[in-house]
Amino acid sequence: MAGRIPQHFIDELLNRIDIVDLIDSRVPLRKAGRDFQARCPFHEEKSPSFTVSQTKQFYHCFGCGAHGSAISFLMEYDHLDFIEAIKELADKAGIALPSTEEEHTHKAVDKDLYGVMEEACNFYRQQLRSHADGPKAVEYLKGRGLTGQIANDFGIGFAPPGWDSLLKTAGGSRQREAQLATTGMAITKEDGRHYDRFRNRIMFPIRDRRGRIIAFGGRVIDNNDTPKYLNSPESPLFHKGKELYGLYEARQAQRQIDRLLVVEGYMDVVALAQHGICYAVATLGTALTTDHIAPLYRTTQEVVFCFDGDRAGRDAAWKALDIMLPELNEGRTARFMFLADGEDPDTLVRKVGQEAFELEVKNAVPLSTFLLDNLLQQVDMGAIDGRARLVELVRPKLAKISNAVFRHMLINALATRIHINAQELLQLLGEKSAPVNQTKRPRQQQHNIESRKLSPIRTAITLLLNHPSLAQSAGDPQRYLQLAEPGIRLLVELLELALNNPHINCGTILERWRDRPEGKHLSKLASAPVYHTTDEGLEMEFHDTLRLLDRQRVEQEHERLRRKSETGPLSQEEKRKFTQLLSEKHALAQPSNNR
C-alpha cells in the first residue's frame, strides 16, 4: 500500500512534522529528560511509560510495547489506515499529496464538498430547534427515548418540508448548487434546476473515520410516509459499502474500545448509546462487506454481529460468516447475536435496559460454534454417508481460512463434536496434520533470542537507529557484505541509507521498512533502551561494534583464502588480498583509538 505514495514524499512529510507536536495535540506530553512522557493512550496505566523522542521522531511504550513513527501513531490512535494517516499529516503540514493512481482513476475529491455537508448539518440542527415543525421532530425523538444530549452528540437535525429549504440556505450560487447535487443533497431536474433530496425528515449525519460528514440518513416522522429510511446516494464522499455509521462517535465516547457491536440501522446505534452502550455501529443499508472488516478490527479485537432471529437474519449471518472467515486470526474474535423475532436492538434495549442487553451481547455465539452448528444441522450423522457429506461441506469453508491456528482450532472443535480424533478428520479432509503448536513455535523462539544479549549486528543497528548520523564515520558499508552473518545485509542497507541522507531520523527510517518483513525487527530494536548519556559514549560503542564486525569479516575471509591455498595455488589477486587481510588483521588487533 505504501508503494502508491512515493518514498521521498513520506520522507519530506516526516521531516516537516514534529511527532512531539502531533502527539501532544492528542495526548498532552510532559518533558522528562531528553524525551517526553505521558500515560500511555494504548493501555491502562497509573504511571507514565509512554515516551516520545524528538530526536528519533519515534514513540515507544515500555508498558505495552506500542511504538512507531508519526504515521504509526495516527494509524493507531485515530484508527486510520496508512493512506488516511498520510493525508491527515499532509493536511497538517500544508503540503499537497502527490497524485496517486487512485486519484488518476477516480477524480480527486473537491475539498469544498465537506464544507457543504457541514453547512447542511448545521442547517438541519438549527431547524430542529427553530422551524415551526421542529417540535414534531423533537416529539418523535423523545418518543423514542432520546434526550437532547444524545441528539446533540450525534448531530441529529431536521430537514423541513418544502422543496428548497436547504437550497435557499446553502445554495446561493451555481457552483454551490452543483456541489449540493454532487453530494446528493439536491436532485437535478430535467430542466437543470434543483430541489432538496431530504424533506420533512429527521436527519442523521454520517461521518467518516476522521469525523467529516460524508452523507446523511433521513427518517420519516410520520410512519405513513415512504420510504421510511432514505440515505444519501453514492457520491465522491460516500461509498456506502465501506462506511460504518457511529464508528467515529464510538471513538469519541471511549478511547479504549473493548468491543464493537454491529447493528443494522442508525436508530439502533443512537438508541443503544442513549442506554450507555456506546460501542454500536451500523452498516448503511448494505450487508456486511469485506471493506467493513478492516476498520472494525483496526478499532478493537472483538466484534459482535447482531442479526434478526428469523430466517432472513440467519441467512444474513451465514453470508457474513463467509466474509469473516478469511479475515480471522488468533487475536480477532467474531460472535453472532440473534434477536428474538420482531425485536430490533432499539426496541430490545428500551424494554430490558442496558445490563440485560449487554448480557445478551456477552452471550453471543462464537463464529466457530455458529459455523459448526449450521454444518451439522445440514447433515444426518447417523446416515452411512453422513461423514463424507460433512467433509464436503466443511472443505470449502476451511479453504477460506488463511490463518493456520484458527483453522486447526476449528478442525479440533469439529472432531470433538462428531466424536472422532482430529488426525482422522484431517485425513478425511485431505489436510496435512500440522499440530497447532508448530505454527506457534517460531514466535516463542524469537522471543528468547530477543531477551538474550544483542549480537554485534543488532547492537550496530540499534545504535544506528538511535543516531543515524553515526553512519557518517563508519567507512564504506559495502565491505561488510563479505561477512556471512544473519542481518548483515540489513545493516549495510541502513548504513548506506543513513550515509546518503545525513538528516534522516529513526521514524523516517522505519517508514521505509513499513511493508517489509524486517520492519518489525527494526521497530523492536528502535525501541530498545540505549544506556548512554553522552554522545561520545555512543560513538565509542558504535565503533567498537564495527571493529568487532571488521575483525569477524577479516577472519572469515582470511580463513577462506587459507583453506583455498591448501587445495591449490592462489591467484595473484588472491595473494594480494591475503597480504592486505593480514595487515588489516594486525591493525584491528591494536587497541581502539576511536578513529
∠ CA(220), CA(221), CA(227), 5° rounding? 20
Cell numbers representing residue 189 in the block: 431536474
Min separation Cβ 117 and Zn ion, Å: 36
63 binds Zn ion (CB under 5 A): yes
Helix ranges (H only) for 474-515 are: 488-500, 506-512
Tell me the chain's radius of gyration from C-alpha atoms.
31
Q: Tell me the three-class secondary structure of 225-242, residue by residue.
A: CCCCEEECCCCCCCCCCC
Beta carbon nearer to Zn ion, 66 or 273 = 66
Smallest CA-to-CA distance from 352 within 278, 279, 280, 277 is with 277
Min separation Cβ 27 and Zn ion, Å: 11
**Site for Zn ion, residues 447 to 506, rule: CB under 5 A:** none
Min separation Cβ 51 and Zn ion, Å: 10
Under DSSP, is residue 461 helix (H, G, I), strand (E, B) or coil?
A: helix
Distance, CA of 592 to CA of 75 (rounded, Å): 45
Beta carbon nearer to Zn ion, 468 or 507 = 507
Distance, CA of 246 to CA of 271 (rounded, Å): 12
Which amino acid is it at 558? H
Min separation Cβ 32 and Zn ion, Å: 15
Beta carbon nearer to Zn ion, 298 or 547 = 298
Beta carbon nearer to Zn ion, 77 or 542 = 77
Min separation Cβ 527 and Zn ion, Å: 11
Window contacting Zn ion (CB under 5 A); options: 55-63, 77-85, 403-411, 431-439:
55-63
Which amino acid is it at 145? G
∠ CA(279), CA(282), CA(283), 5° rounding? 145
Beta carbon nearer to Zn ion, 42 or 406 = 42
Min separation Cβ 39 and Zn ion, Å: 9
Q: Show the binding pattern over residues 20-49: x = contacts Zn ion (CB under 5 A), - = does not.
A: --------------------x-xx------
Smallest CA-to-CA distance from 43 within 58, 55, 27 is with 27
Distance, CA of 183 to CA of 198 (rounded, Å): 12
Min separation Cβ 38 and Zn ion, Å: 10
Question: Could you check whether the bond before residue 28 is cis, i.e. omega within 30 degrees of 0?
Answer: no
The single residue among 17, 61, 86, 303 that binds Zn ion, judged by CB under 5 A, is: 61
Beta carbon nearer to Zn ion, 60 or 259 = 60
Beta carbon nearer to Zn ion, 70 or 546 = 70
Beta carbon nearer to Zn ion, 47 or 99 = 47
Min separation Cβ 75 and Zn ion, Å: 15
Phi, psi of 212 (to 5 degrees): -85, 140
Cell numbers representing residue 585 in the block: 588483521
Beta carbon nearer to Zn ion, 68 or 155 = 68
- Residues in contact with Zn ion, counted by CB under 5 A, come to a total of 7
Distance, CA of 205 to CA of 243 (rounded, Å): 12
Smallest CA-to-CA distance from 344 within 312, 367, 371, 368 is with 312
Min separation Cβ 128 and Zn ion, Å: 41
Window contacting Zn ion (CB under 5 A); options: 63-71, 112-120, 518-526, 532-540:
63-71
The single residue among 1, 32, 64, 587 that binds Zn ion, judged by CB under 5 A, is: 64
- Which residues contact Zn ion (rule: CB under 5 A)? 40, 42-43, 61, 63-64, 66
